[in-house]
Structure 1
Amino acid sequence: MRIKRVLNNNAVLAVDDVGRDLVAIGRGLGHGRKPGDELDRDAADQVFVAAENTNMERLARFLDDIPLDCLNAAGEVAALAGERLGLRVSQALVVPLADHLSFAIERQQEGIPAQFPLAWEVSQLYPKELATGREALGLVQRSLGVTLRDDEAVALAMHFVNAQFATPGMEKAMQMTGVIAQAFAVVDTTFGMTVDQQSLNAARFVTHLRYLFSRVASGKQISEKSSALVDAIIQSHPEAVVCAAKIQYLLEMGLDTSLTRDEVAYLALHVARLVADASEHR
């Protein structure tokens, strides 16, 4: 790749062999270099390419504000999430993590407490992501020499959840978490019980809702050619269908869309399984 502009001692704006603009990051990477110099890609610790709707200069300025050590630590955290959760390690995961780590360290140094209003919901709905977040805190401590508060694992878990659905920012992940928590509350209220959110069927219910969010986001809701199965679900589980209709309202409000009849029927089936499991363990 060829350097277009030196941003600072650790970063350069460059162009690769196919003409893509990118930002290359690495300790001392820009020192003594000038526009037009060739740069071996292996010399960079990380290389970032602007997304389709992202201005390259804006990306460069954004990365320039994040300490190199935080970018490298974020890369390690992303790799950990790839191993533990099967996430694809991409700049869409690394950059938000780096920004969060940088800000979390700054907050801690200034004694500003962080607020994590969905901590309980995250612990119930995303135990694997939260466990990975806690493991990541140890990695950050070893890499940066900074011991972040334990509840920062909640924020890291939310980044991992968000990355599974490739949505920018954490707003959608937080919204999804809130809606799922409300869905459990609807089931509890409708059937007069308290669902064990650590149970296998509760985990399946959460997984179904998460992938429902993903299907809606990609415009690929379930829509069966034959309505026989859907009719059978409706006839077999009328109470679950009523409960699913209440959850449908929450989802449609949160997602700003309409669910197909098939999606609601399959949601009712998962509600029925959840309730049956809870009834058996009373």
Structure 2
Amino acid sequence: MKIKRVLNNNAVLAVDDDGKDLVAIGRGLGHGRKPGDDIHRDTADQVFVTAENTNMDRLARFLNDIPLDYLTAAGEVAALAQERLGLRVSQALVVPLADHLHFAVQRIEEGIPAQFPLAWEVSQLYPKELDTGREALGLVETSLGIRLDDDEAVALAMHFVNAQFATPGMEKTMQMTGVIKQAFQLVDRTFGIDVDQQSMNAARFVTHLRYLFSRIASGKQISEESSLLADAIIESHPDAVVCAAKIQYLLEMGLNTTLTRDEMAYLALHVARLVTDVKVPG
């Protein structure tokens, strides 16, 4: 790697042989270095990919504010998330994780209890991410020498979801989680049932909604000029279409968007699959 900019004594912006920008972190890594210097990857404790359109001055200030130990711990958690969930070890994952870990430890030292209002929803909607968060607590304890509250696994899971779907900011991730929760409630009320959110069909439904969020965020909704499949879905599942219309309203109001006809049809299909194994009373 070749240094492009020294961010501080412990961090440098570098470029690899493929021209990809990276941030390398290690104790004293930037001390006495200058742009153009070669640096071996093995000399860094952590290396992560920078986000597009990164403000380097802002990143440098942030890295100055976070102790190196927390960045190292965050890098280890990110590597675990890469192994368990297939996430990329990037600035968008490592930096928020480091910030969260730093704040979590400060809360413990000051005796401030943490609040996790979406704990149940996270356990239902993101079980793999939550399991990874629980495993990550052990890494953090080994790295920082402090045991975080078990419920901190919920917050870590939310960071993984946030990074997975490239949603800018935890607020958007919490909004997505809230919308999914409300979607299940709409299905229950519309059909007069109690959907088992641990079922395979529920998992498929959540996955569909999560990728729908991703398509909306990237402006790449499903849309075909002439969709015979959409026509067939709408005709075959009228009750599911009614329910999907309610969820559509929820999504459009919450996300300030408009769903395409094809997205609406596929949403109805997934609603139909969700309730197919549930016995409707009466």
- TM-score of the superposed pair, with normalisation by structure 2: 0.90
- Does 2:267 match 1:260? no
Change (3 A) 1:71 1:232: same
- For residues 172 and 64 of structure 2, the distance between their equivalents in structure 1, rounded to whole angstroms, comes to 26
Residue 77 (structure 2) aligns with: 77
One-letter code of the match for 1:38? D
- For residues 91 and 233 of structure 1, the distance between their equivalents in structure 2, rounded to whole angstroms, comes to 41
Residue 38 (structure 1) aligns with: 37
Mean alpha-carbon deviation: is it higher for 38-47 or for 258-267?
38-47
- Does 2:230 match 1:199? no
One-letter code of the match for 2:53? N
Change (3 A) 1:229 1:2: closer
Change (3 A) 1:20 1:177: closer
Poorly superposed stretches of 4+, deviation over 6 Å: 13-22
Q: Deviations over 1:79-135 (max 9, x none)?
A: 111111111221211111111111111111111111111111101100110010000
- For residues 25 and 149 of structure 1, the distance between their equivalents in structure 2, rounded to whole angstroms, comes to 27
Q: Deviations over 1:53-80 (max 9, x none)?
A: 3321211110111111111111111111
Residue 7 (structure 1) aligns with: 8
Q: Deviations over 1:179-221 (max 9, x none)?
A: 0000000000111111000000000000000011111111111
Kept in 2, the 8 Å contact 1:26–1:45? The answer is yes
Q: Deviations over 1:228-255 (max 9, x none)?
A: 2212111211111000000000011122
One-letter code of the match for 1:211? Y
- For residues 21 and 80 of structure 2, the distance between their equivalents in structure 1, rounded to whole angstroms, comes to 28
Summarize the alignment of residues 97-116 of structure 1 with structure 2, pairs less than 5 Å apart: 97-116=97-116
Change (3 A) 1:266 1:30: closer
1:45 positional shift: 2.2
Residue 28 (structure 1) aligns with: 28
- State the identity %: 79
- For residues 23 and 89 of structure 2, the distance between their equivalents in structure 1, rounded to whole angstroms, comes to 17
User: Structure 2 stretches of 5 or more lacking a match?
Assistant: none
Q: Please tell me the root mean square deviation across aligned C-alpha atoms, in Å.
A: 2.5
Summarize the alignment of residues 88-99 of structure 1 with structure 2, pairs less than 5 Å apart: 88-99=88-99
Kept in 2, the 8 Å contact 1:23–1:60? The answer is no
Kept in 2, the 8 Å contact 1:13–1:22? The answer is yes
Kept in 2, the 8 Å contact 1:2–1:37? The answer is yes
**What is the number of residues matched between the two proteins?**
280
Residue 61 (structure 2) aligns with: 61
- TM-score of the superposed pair, with normalisation by structure 1: 0.90
